[in-house]
Amino acid sequence: MHTHIMPEHMPRFSEQFGYEGFIHLEHHLPGRARMMQGTKFFREIEANCWDPVAREVDYAAHHTQMQVVCTIPVLFAYFAQPKHTLEVARFLNDHLAQLVHDHPRTYIGLGTLPMQDTELSIRELQRCKEIGLVGVQIGSNINDKNLSEPEFFPIFQAMQDLGMALFVHPWNMMGQQHMSKYWLPWLVGMPAETSRAICSMIFGGVLERLPGLRVNFAHAGGSFLPTIGRIEHGFHCRPDLVAIDNPVNPRDYLGKFWVDCITHDPLMLRYILDLAGEDKVTLGSDYPFPLGDLEIGAFIEEMGLPDETKEKIYFRNTMEWLNLVNLPIHSG
């Protein structure tokens, strides 16, 4: 339920809109492309980033039939003028809708929104639903603003009202300008970002006020679950700082949101299953990126979990999160 895809060809949005920052692809070799942010190299990618059939072959090797796909966070384009971000989002969402339409048995799509503009986001969210996407992915912060900011609440409310699932993914990592060495933004910043997002949605009262919002957090919730004891203790010892917008203990929200299983660590996954509940842990992979679980669940197979628990992680919980419980399950 956590994989990334992008269109094979991106318009030159920077040229179209007259300023830098947008991603385009340079296909410099067969099956390989450079993701470029203007003239700046961002990442080298392969065909499994855009080719639906190449992905299916990779997946089949790990006994996986269906992928929930969303864009790559660097494509969010929240930095841009809202009307331009909307145009990028519409392009990406139309691509996802076409993919889902062409491959209904192998792909489920999550859209992207111009989150820096409340009204445009709600409009695009409605359109996402109309074109066959079952939810959206957003960043852990929006141009450094936390998800507790009042301007985002109507978007979350619309997600609840429209029955659209939400996936929160870390990006634009805090402190990255101070830790460019050792891949620290990815290893340290990302787990912190996800905890930042969960804490913001809890302490800001988003989860309290929208109990029907179905939200899933990437990378097993980042550092949130491993540090829940500290977070709860902070809530008790300094309510004047922590409980100013929501008087409910953060621990009470365990079991009310989903997380993926991307931990690379059986011991940690057991802990996540205990804390979040075995109904709330979903099979993510972060495919096709190297920091993901590219053997898709192999470490889970070795954990000796009961078949019923594995079934929940492998698909049942994802179907619940996406409200697709009535979707026929194809065997084989």
Toward Zn ion, which CB reaches closer, 216 or 246? 216
Compute CA distances 90 → 83, 128, 202, whole Å: 10, 9, 30
Toward Zn ion, which CB reaches closer, 133 or 158? 133
Toward Zn ion, which CB reaches closer, 56 or 293? 293
CB of 259 to Zn ion, least distance (A): 13
CB of 103 to Zn ion, least distance (A): 20
Going by C-alpha positions, the residue among 17, 28, 160, 33 that lies closest to residue 77 is: 17
Q: What residue is closest to Zn ion based on CB?
A: 286
- Between CA 221 and CA 228, with CA 224 as vertex, the angle to 5 degrees is 140
Toward Zn ion, which CB reaches closer, 46 or 252? 46
CB of 326 to Zn ion, least distance (A): 27
Return d(Cα 61, Cα 77) in angstroms, integer.
34
Return d(Cα 176, Cα 186) in angstroms, integer.
9
Toward Zn ion, which CB reaches closer, 87 or 286? 286
296's CB contacts (< 8 A; 6+ apart) are 59, 62, 63, 64, 283, 285, 287
Q: Which residues bind Zn ion (CB under 5 A)?
A: 286
Return d(Cα 37, Cα 79) in angstroms, integer.
13
CB of 69 to Zn ion, least distance (A): 11
CB of 169 to Zn ion, least distance (A): 5
Residue that has been written with the tokens 């919002």 in this structure:
213
Q: Cis ω on the peptide bond leading into residue 104 (within 30° of 0)? A: no
Toward Zn ion, which CB reaches closer, 56 or 286? 286
CB of 218 to Zn ion, least distance (A): 6
Toward Zn ion, which CB reaches closer, 286 or 293? 286
Return the axis-axis angle of helices 118-130 and 82-102, rounded to nearest 10°.
Answer: 10
- Between CA 1 and CA 106, with CA 49 as vertex, the angle to 5 degrees is 45
Q: Are 219 and 176 in contact (CB under 8 A)?
A: no
Residue 145 per-residue DSSP state:
B
CB of 240 to Zn ion, least distance (A): 36
